[in-house]
Structure 1
Amino acid sequence: MWAFRPLTSGSLLLITALIIIIAAPARAQLSPGDLSSAHEELEGLKKCSNCHQLGKREVGPRCLDCHVEIKAMREGGRGLHAGDDFGQCVDCHVEHHGRDYELVFWPDGRENFKHDVLGYEMTGAHLKLACRQCHNVKNVVDPGKLRGWKKEFDRTYLGLAQDCLSCHADPHAGALTGGPEQKTCTACHGTEAWKPASGFDHDRSAFPLTGRHQKVDCAKCHRTKGAPVTVGQAKVAVAVFKPQAHAACTDCHKDPHVGTLGPNCTQCHVTDDWLKINGQAFDHSRTKYPLEGRHAGVSCAQCHDNGRKKPAFAACRDCHADAHDAATLERPKLMVCEDCHTVAGFRPAGYTMTRHAESAFPLRGGHQATPCLRCHQPSDGAAARRGVDPKSVYARAANLAPAHAACTDCHRDPHAGQTAAVKGAGDTAGCIACHDENSWRDPRFDHGTTRFALDGGHARAACTACHKPGRRAGEVELLFKDTARNCAGCHDDIHQGQFADRRTADGAAVDCARCHVTVDWFAEKFDHETDSRFPLRGGHEKVACATCHIPRAEDEGKMVRFKPLPTDCRSCHGNDGKGQP
């Protein structure tokens, strides 16, 4: 018999170690490595068949026995795993690499995952989001289902929907989900930014925008209501878009006419400008003041300023300034504008010559051809007094009651007061003593009443031939007093002093009248017998004056020599001996 020695504790440890060393190569040949922590409950040689089928490499079908959520999505044709490219689990999820191995494989990295393979392309602001900003429990459509599948919300990417409202709050509170073109948020909004709603077309709404409405900020009509909601990363005020009253203008606008012109504003106004009246629609003739003439072209605001609904219009002065200062003249008759003017225009006035003939100054003669404003001139300071532009028609409007008692109220006295005491026919004095209204240049003055009666050629001479116009202070003056009455005062001495010794009684000048008369220049009164040293007798009486008195040129001009002349025969006839005894 064999005798056995009792085993010591050291021997037992050695035997145990040998058993483990011998058994380890056998297990390593059956399992390629430890499972991940997600599948660690399947670890062990007896549990291999939970995933693997004997004689087959594929494990996909067995995966779906546990991952029923993936199975359901594949059967429904939804999600990533329903596609052919992602049908084999082991292409992305590889096991037996140890407990800490990450089972989800991201070829390009998790943050670069291409969502378009899911039928949901990431664009705009979505591209800037971290994965878990969307893939979190708050956005899961049915959290209970995921819990039933034992999914960890901080790990799974399942459970989200693709419609905007699955992640974002609806700031319209469901008001815009009724129309076929408004079923989704993307009908109006893009992913770049929530505002502006670039896809929204107001023309497709029940209230197309025209005119000034196109420039109005949305919030002016669509007021906010309630607390703001979160859309993406921002708080958005809830604006009311539907229902929005818009059947009448007064749903948004105040009625400045307080109902006096009816509820339909568009009968008069257009959306381009509130102040622009639709002339084809509004009929002013239906009012108490039909617009005619120039009034038809006046803008509404010129009469209806500051919202005046019913401006006064009983008299022209209710709107227009008094162009003639009639009130200050205290002449009520002049305030009746219609007597002279019409709505066709302030000018020309309808005041006729017949009307003027009934005034205190009937027009006669040259006055009838004088422009009105030559007499009816605007008074100084008219523009300031009337509160109008100095260039306006009202600033130049006529003074209807100019002074007219004397001619000098309108006309300047060119005689500088010299004729004030002159009396005319009928003992008339002043300008009318000589002039009338027919012509200034045809005076009635009787020169015979002066100290120089006109006769002969003097009677035919123009006044200015003797009374030369002068100038004083830049104005023409025609003076009469102190005009010389001797011939030399007007006429040149063509004899160049030959008769200087023959002077007038007062010695003031040569006495031309001793030889000449006013009828013509010919020396009609000259008598060769008595007025010269050479009486004419015989043949001399028939000789022309110029034969002896020969004209010749002098420095002062042409002159006829009368004296001194020789009186001997030889001086004229020479000494040729002819005719001598």
Structure 2
Amino acid sequence: MVLGTGWLASASAQNIETLLAPGKLIQGHAKYEENCSECHVKFNRQAMDGLCMACHKDVGSDVKARTGFHGRSKPQACSSCHADHKGREARIVDLDKKKFDHNISDYRLKGKHQAVACEKCHLPQKKYREAPQDCNACHKKDDEHKGSLGPKCADCHNESDWKETHFDHDKKTKFALTGKHADAQCADCHKNDKYKDTVKTCIGCHKKADDSSKGHKGQYGDKCESCHDAKAWKPSTFNHDTDTKYALRGKHRSTRCADCHTGHLYRVQLSSDCYSCHKKDDKHKESLGKDCGSCHSERDWKEPPKFNHDQTSFPLLGKHVDTECKDCHKSAMFKEAPKDCYGCHKKEDKHENTLGEACGDCHTERDWKSTAGRFGHDRTKFQLRNAHADPKVKCNACHKDLKNYRKTPVDCYSCHQKQDKHEGQLGKKCETCHNDRTWETTRFDHALTKFPLTGKHVPVKCEKCHETNRFQDAPEDCYGCHKKEDEHKLKFGEKCDSCHNTRGWPIWDFNHDKRTEYKIEGAHLKVACESCHTAPAPKGKAAATVGKNCISCHRKDDVHDGQFGMRCETCHAVQDWKKVTTRMGLGERKQLQVLLASRFSVWGYSSRFERTTGPAMADTWMGRT
């Protein structure tokens, strides 16, 4: 047998596996005809299932998840149902529709779905798994709601009967059906099957009832549930006592809502005070304010008031308690009634207003004529003490005019002028020396004057200095009383206290070192004051001014005739005038030597200087040694 060249070419293109293949692959697997390893594993038949599911991933996912037909079916090799190599036109999926159990798929057939032909849901050229599982995919044309309620038809409908609904309004909506709403037909609220557009507020359905003559005509807003509930539209469930801050009492409980709520309930804020509603009933014309409840009650507006006068600025005491209101309140304008005693008792004022209008300072509400327990003189500017408080002293002793109490003087002098033995010389402040226990006893403190008493002045009787009751005539200086005792004949002036003191007149002490600029020392300590202070002291001075240098007193003793100047202390000492010494510095000494040498040598006075100072001193001063 001879083979053609074409056969040789075809045989060379095929491998041994291809030659051994049981037949052609189906059209869908034709591309794997020359590559057996895409579906087969050598010497391992079980590995074929893994390769199948690796290629058919949707089936593999079902098997792994145990969902769908393949996942719920009994596990077996893929080739047991889907055998290949049967030719290009072969169908390896042979499904018996009559025996197929739909319950092992992801979509169980219930109700009327069981009688529906497979082709109704599984369309040609579509895989079985691609059949839609939602109601709207098949019944979109049957949707009378035209998509307004969304695609979840099963929320209301079921497979037994499309027209039968089982919608749970309480759980699946925000509007639970309670009370009479549970008996209402769906069409009563959902007009024209438009469920989504249905309002969820009471006013949405009951607006006509609110707009009617028996309704509120929108005056109370659209929150009907504030007063009404679903059990019954009438009566209202609103409790004014608990649902508001204003409890209804008395006649307010029987008052219609519209009598107070005249405007829109939520736009017009209604005040809770009485005056807002009863302004026209106010006979006091706001004179008592707007707190009507302080006097009136809700039981009856005209009921006798529950007003407590003690809570006002004028509590009723004494005889005021029994007084009729109209006796003080002449009109309904109660605040016009005077609050002071004088406003009502002006005609009874016997003092003719000289004591002012504060009648309560003396009188009480218990008895107008009695002042006991109220008036106290201690509350005035003049307290009654000691002799003034003596019961024998009558009021008219000071108050000459009972109608003019306030003009009574409060100073001592006005009453005791006749008893003033000082004839007014000590002024009118009698209390400075006298007291109200007894006029004769004085408590004058001389230390408070310009001349305090010290030393031997203390036991001296007043008459020694004050020769008359005009005490201010007494001199205040020492010289005024001790003129006769002045042994210095005014040489040291009139200021005796410069040296003397009140402890004893012979005792005196003047510190010349501290009180003057000239220190007393040496022979000066034995010199009497009059030796230097020879002239009378000028008026107002303690002593006449004396020069501060030696020459002022020792001019006559200057044997140098002023040749050495006025600085005697340069050579002489205060201990002894005749003792000559030098306290000059070297520089001053040299200058003086030159001066002395020139004067005494030229004028021939060297012998005179030597006679005066002595030979030794002359040699020293003249520079001869």
What's the TM-score once normalised by structure 2's chain length?
Answer: 0.37
Which gives a bigger RCO, structure 1 or 2 (Cα 8 Å, sep 6+)? 1
